[in-house]
């Protein structure tokens, strides 16, 4: 996780911007993404070809941003096309580690720290070693860690390899509205809980808290009148919201002080979250023990004792949701 320490939390959204694109040739430049001479144009931005078996998705189940990619991979049926490496929930000063695997090594990449794959790509890489990351197996080098682009490209660029009944996560007729919904979900909810948790002043926290609950009330109202965020079918927008809701009562309510009320006390949102949890591709990607271990152990500034709470009771996630 990368963030800028200020009184008001701001997430560092600078990632390795390479893309895996259908029809691309390895090493082709991706100059058309940036205006000529733009100060924001990254050095050595390249495209990589869609090639089954070439890449490994490294995604810790504890991390909500990585959890998105795991879910999309499951929904689209890409399990046999793109491998999955799962670091443990806690990491040391160097980076995420594969401490859940035998000998502490990813069984395919043969590395202990994810940092090794970053350094194979950019020696001395100075930004955060984040998940999810797409890693080229042959070179053991990170291709990209741009989490919103990763799930976008899994849908649009890997279509030839989707299972026949894969959901349409980006329906053309809803895409414009969906982009607006996802932007609000990201800024106010996905990132909003972090803005509360990492606030450096009372005023920053109060402002973040107000923004979060304004958005949560908007979602509660929206989901009272429709089954999913965009209507009757699951889209990428639902994936992006779900990973925050799944962590809300277990972590964000207490650890991040997002405690106006619990998710279980919001009828529409709680029913919606259970609906998704019980949908194949969602619930099986959630590991509450890993989620709690990550936040309560790694965030020593927020929880200096490192004590991991026993609750809350998780059995409610499998109760009838009534949204069919």
Q: What is the pLDDT of residues 230-275, one digit of tens each?
A: 999 999 999 999 999 999 999 999 999 999 999 999 999 999 999 9
pLDDT value at residue 44: 62
* 4: confidence class by pLDDT, cuts 50, 70, 90: very low
- Together in a domain, 101 and 186: no
Check which CATH number belongs to the domain holding 207 and give it. 1.20.1050.10
pLDDT value at residue 151: 98
Which of 139, 161, 183 terminates a domain? The answer is 161
Structural domain range at position 115: 3-161
- Together in a domain, 204 and 76: no
Percent of the chain with pLDDT over 90: 87
- Together in a domain, 218 and 77: no
What 3-state DSSP class applies to 22? coil
In a domain, 129, yes or no: yes
On whether the CB atoms of residues 39 and 20 are closer than 8 A, the answer is no
Which of 102, 133, 161 terminates a domain? The answer is 161
Q: Does residue 31 surpass a pLDDT of 90?
A: no
- Together in a domain, 60 and 134: yes
Q: pLDDT tens for residues 126-164?
A: 999 999 999 999 999 999 999 999 999 999 999 999 999
Q: pLDDT tens for residues 62-114?
A: 999 999 999 999 999 999 999 999 999 999 889 999 999 999 999 999 999 99
Nearest-angstrom CA–CA distance, 70 and 268: 25
pLDDT value at residue 34: 39
- Together in a domain, 140 and 108: yes
- Together in a domain, 68 and 213: no
Q: Does residue 35 surpass a pLDDT of 50?
A: no
- Together in a domain, 157 and 247: no
In a domain, 201, yes or no: yes
Radius of gyration of the chain (CA): 19
Sheet of 83-85, strand order = 83-85, 55-58, 133-136, 141-144
Q: pLDDT tens for residues 42-51?
A: 456 789 999 9
Weakest mean pLDDT among 29-33, 235-239, 264-268, 295-299: 29-33
Over residues 17-34, mean pLDDT: 73
* pTM for the full predicted model: 0.93
Number of domains present in the structure of the chain: 2
The first and second tokens of residue 308, run together, are: 């991991």
Which of 102, 132, 161 terminates a domain? The answer is 161
- Together in a domain, 137 and 182: no
Would you give the distance in Å from CA 20 to the centre of its chain? 18
In a domain, 323, yes or no: no
- Together in a domain, 221 and 134: no
To the question of whether residue 96 is assigned a binding role by annotation, the answer is yes
- Together in a domain, 153 and 65: yes
Catalytic positions: 63, 194
Closest by Cα among 53, 78, 54, 227 to 151: 78
> How far separated are the first and last CA of the chain, in Å rounded?
36
In a domain, 324, yes or no: no
In a domain, 167, yes or no: no
Nearest-angstrom CA–CA distance, 159 and 35: 29
pLDDT value at residue 29: 62
In a domain, 144, yes or no: yes
Check which CATH number belongs to the domain holding 17 and give it. 3.40.30.10
- Together in a domain, 242 and 281: yes
- Together in a domain, 132 and 220: no
């Amino acid at each position: 996780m990368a963030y800028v320490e200020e009184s008001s939390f701001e997430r560092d959204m600078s990632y390795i911007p390479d893309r895996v694109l259908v029809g691309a040739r390895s090493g082709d430049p991706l100059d058309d993404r940036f205006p000529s001479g733009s100060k924001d144009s990254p050095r050595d931005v390249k495209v990589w070809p869609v090639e089954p078996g070439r890449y490994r998705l490294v995604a810790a189940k504890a991390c909500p941003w990585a959890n998105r990619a795991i879910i999309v991979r499951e929904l689209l049926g890409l399990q046999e096309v793109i491998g999955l490496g799962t670091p443990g929930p806690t990491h040391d000063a160097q980076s995420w580690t594969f401490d859940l695997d035998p000998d502490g090594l990813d069984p395919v990449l043969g590395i202990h720290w994810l940092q090794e794959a970053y350094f194979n790509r950019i020696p001395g890489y100075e930004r955060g070693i984040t998940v999810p990351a797409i890693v080229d197996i042959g070179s053991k080098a990170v291709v990209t860690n741009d989490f919103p682009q990763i799930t976008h490209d899994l849908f649009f660029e890997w279509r030839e390899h989707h299972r026949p009944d894969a959901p349409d996560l980006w329906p053309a007729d809803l895409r414009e509205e969906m982009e607006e919904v996802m932007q609000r979900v990201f800024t106010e909810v996905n990132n909003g809980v972090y803005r509360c948790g990492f606030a450096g002043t009372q005023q920053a926290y109060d402002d973040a808290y107000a923004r979060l609950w304004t958005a949560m009330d908007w979602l509660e109202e929206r989901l009272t009148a429709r089954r999913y965020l965009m209507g009757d079918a699951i889209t990428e927008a639902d994936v992006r919201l779900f990973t925050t809701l799944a962590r809300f009562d277990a972590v964000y309510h207490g650890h991040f002080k997002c405690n106006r009320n619990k998710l279980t006390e919001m009828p529409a949102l709680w029913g919606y979250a259970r609906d998704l949890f019980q949908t194949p591709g969602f619930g099986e990607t959630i590991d509450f023990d890993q989620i709690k271990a990550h936040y309560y152990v790694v965030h020593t500034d927020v929880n200096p004792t490192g004590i991991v709470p026993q609750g809350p009771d998780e059995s409610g996630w499998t109760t009838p949701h009534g949204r069919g």
